[in-house]
Amino acid sequence: MVGKNMFRRTLLAFFIVTVAFSLAVPSMAFAQDYPRKPITAIVAFNPGGGTDVAARVILKFAEKYIGGQFVVENKPGAGGAVGFTAIAMAPKDGYTIGMINPPTVLLKPIQEGNLVKYSLSDFEPIANFVSDPGALVVPPDSPFKTMMDVVEAAKAKPNTIRMGYGGPGTSEALTLRNFENAFGIKVRKVPFEGTGPQLTALMGKNIDVMFTNASEIVSQYKAKTVRVIAVGAPKRIPMMPDVLTYKESGFDTIQLAMRGLAAPKGIDPKHLQILSDAMAKVFNDPDFQKRADELSLPLDYMGPAEYKKLLQELDAFYRAEYAKNPW
């Protein structure tokens, strides 16, 4: 009898514990109602590229603050347009967001017209992460010490300076066009695919100057295998403190390749708030700042409102420039 009673009591205790747990566990999990499952972050470029690395590092840190998981999904194609479209068309439940790359993300709908099925108004910006300034780069033994040296040389001998850039249609091409117009000069524009081949041509003296982005040549800059004569940031950058800005050099232009996070338009404002708060916290995390420094990420945090305003301004600027003349 005693044994049976004992058995019953144990069973009861077991039952109570089980019920308690089964009640407690979901209530713990449901304490937060977003995110309840992993959030997919679309990256419009291949794994291992600049955008992918930035996204993976930042979102990894953000997991701690949001209390959930991020899954990076690479959707490359058509220079980013495939991935950007996927973000714009994603379900608005807050579980699909993605990286947008201004100005590329803005240029695609302007340049490709009907081919691209999204526009800026399809995105709800969450945060800007990095702003990678354009950089004017020369070989270490080049006679050009400043941007004005290039301008002077181009004035003295029009159409002789060989300048490497990212190819027609890129924002670099627009900067280069405005550079020529601002000083009334003409240079030889040589298109390149990516910084690597461009760097080879520069070091092999096949081109005289190259336009690229600062973070892509920071290691060569440190190794002094190239000289950077100007950067396209609004003020000098910590990565290259001794390099003048375009504006300081006499060319009043800002050239930035930006990378930030956006959701499809129409997501719940509460979800947007949770996401943007988490991102803001990441940028105040000293561990994250250290990691970003190791990776040479030119951090430039902007919250949703500020980012949205800037994107609209940039969009208007590029539309106006395109209306003047495509580049």
Partner 1 sequence: MDSLSLLMQGFATALTWNNLIFCLIGVGVGMFIGVLPGLGPVAGTAILIPLTFGLEPTPAIIMLAGIFYAAMYGGTITSVLINTPGESASVITCIDGYQMARQGRAGAALGVAAIGSFIGGIVAILSLTFIGPTLARFAIKFGPPEFLSVMMFGLLLIVGLMGKSIVKGLIAVVLGLLLAMIGQDPGSGASRFIFGQIMLLDGIDFVVLAMGLFGVSEILLNAEKNMETETPPKVKGLIPPREEWAPAAKAIGRGTALGMLLGLIPGASASIASLLSYSFEKRVAKDPSRFGKGAIEGVAGPETANNAYAGAALIPLFTLGIPSSPTVAILLGAFTMHGLIPGPLLYERNPDFLWAVIASMFIGNVMLLIMNLPLANLWAKVARIPYKLLAPLILLICMLGVFSVNRSVWDVGLLVFFGIVGYFLKKLEIPAAALLLSFVLGNNIEFTMIQTLSLSASGLLYLFQRPISGVLMTLCILILALSIYSSIKKKRGQLADDAEV
Binding site for partner 1 (CB under 8 A): 46-49, 52-53, 56, 73-79, 81-82, 85, 111-112, 114-117, 159-160, 162, 167-169, 173, 188-194, 196-197, 199-201, 203-207, 218-220, 222-225, 294-296
Pull the structure tokens for residue 208. Answer: 């005289």
Closest CB to partner 1 among residues 60, 247: 60
Instruction: Give least dist CB 7 to partner 1, A.
Output: 50
Instruction: Give least dist CB 322 to partner 1, A.
Output: 12
**E-strand spans in 31-122?**
39-43, 70-74, 96-100
Phi, then psi, of 184 in degrees rounded to 5: 60, 40
Closest CB to partner 1 among residues 167, 250: 167
Closest CB to partner 1 among residues 26, 47: 47
Q: Which amino acid is at 155?
A: K
Q: How far apart are the C-alpha atoms of 41 and 39, rounded to whole Å?
A: 6
Closest CB to partner 1 among residues 79, 102: 79
Question: 265-299 as b/e, with b when 16 or more CB fall inside 10 Å?
Answer: eebeeebbebbbebbbebbeeeebeeebeeebbbb
Please compute, for residue 246, the number of CA atoms within 13 A of its CA located in the half-sphere on the CB side: 22
Instruction: Give least dist CB 270 to partner 1, A.
Output: 31
CA distances 18 to 11, 22, 28, 31, 112, Å, are 10, 6, 15, 20, 60
Instruction: Give least dist CB 93 to partner 1, A.
Output: 22
Closest CB to partner 1 among residues 34, 84: 84
Instruction: Give least dist CB 251 to partner 1, A.
Output: 22
